[in-house]
Amino acid sequence: MIDSVLSFANLSKTISAVSNRIIFAQIAGTVLAGEKIVFVGPSGQGKSTLLRILGLLDEADSGEMVLLGRPLHQWDPQAWRMNVCYVSQTPVMLEGTVEDNLRTVSRLHHAEYDPSYAAHLLSSVGLEEMGLSKEASTLSGGEKQRVALVRSLLLRPKLLLLDEITSSLDDVSKYAVERLITDINRQEGTGYVWISHDRDQAARIGEKVWSLSNGTLSEGGVSCL
């Protein structure tokens, strides 16, 4: 039996700023170890909000979440985020060079930086020519998106929450990113929940489909796409 990495139940979220609009109510879901989930649904239905809640960047109004068999209240939020890493669709470069950005994880956690692994990840997403001493703020949108992804992958989380991470990429880079994520999934068992509005991409990257619309989450196979 494959263990569950992350599960949630009775999860509800309302935006109080906009006349108490209910985004979703009483939803439940499970991510098994190494599972490849593509997350679809119309824009503005709360997909990003759900991923941000699962990544502890936002808080649900009610509901339970369990990671690696332990409920949320037994976790230190920082340790939770190291296991469940949210990657935003709008990449934010931190102050400094590309290398400073890549070293962030090792700097934060006083861990050794692995330059060869970082170089491997960069070249896998088509950034082998990227000068590490380049100011990160000067990168193009597509470069930022890939550097931000590599920066998160260096954390080696158990589960990736990917929020339209190829939205600024051309086809070549998009396929490269898909290949890298699926390779890491195969080699290291890193599961993912990947928001995508691209049906072809969804079919390539997903084994299971989450669909969020009208406040409810439904699960299905890729054949429902």
Partner 1 sequence: MSLIALASTLVFIAVSVGISIWQKLGLERDILYGTIRSAIQLLAVGFVLQYIFGTQHVLLIVLILAVMIAVATWHAGKRGKGLKRIYLYVGLTITMTEVVTMGLLLALSIIPFTARYVIPISGMTIGNAMVVSSLFLNQMKREAVTSRGEVETLLSLGASPRQAIHRMLNRSARFSMIPTIDGMKTVGLVQLPGMMTGMIVAGASPLEAVRYQILIMFAFASSAALTSILLALMSYRLWFGKLGQFTRSDT
Contacts with partner 1 by CB under 8 A lie at 16, 55-59, 72, 77-79, 81-82, 85-88, 90, 92, 94-95, 104-105, 108-109, 148, 151-152, 155
- Name the minimum Å distance from CB 48 to partner 1: 12
With contact defined as beta carbons under 8 Å apart, do 148 and 163 qualify?
A: no
Q: Cβ of residue 23: shortest distance to partner 1, in angstroms?
A: 15
- 21 or 109, CB closer to partner 1? 109
Rg (C-alpha) for the chain, rounded Å, is 17
For partner 1, give the closer residue by CB, 38 or 85.
85
- For partner 1, the closer CB: 57 or 132: 57
CB of 182 to partner 1, least distance (A): 21
Nearer to partner 1, 184 or 225 (CB): 184
Residue 60 CA to residue 154 CA, distance in Å, equals 28
Q: How far apart are CA 32 and CA 1, in angstroms?
A: 10
Least Å from the CB of residue 74 to partner 1: 13
Structure tokens given for 48:
């990003």
Amino acid type, 19: S
* Complex with partner 1: residue 16 or 116, whichever CB lies closer: 16
Euclidean distance between CA atoms 5 and 115, whole angstroms? 29
- The distance of closest approach from Cβ of residue 78 to partner 1 in the complex, given in angstroms and rounded to an integer, is 5
d(CA 105, CA 91): 16
- Helix or strand holding residue 218 (H, E): strand 216-221
- Beta strands per DSSP E along 173-214: 191-195, 208-213
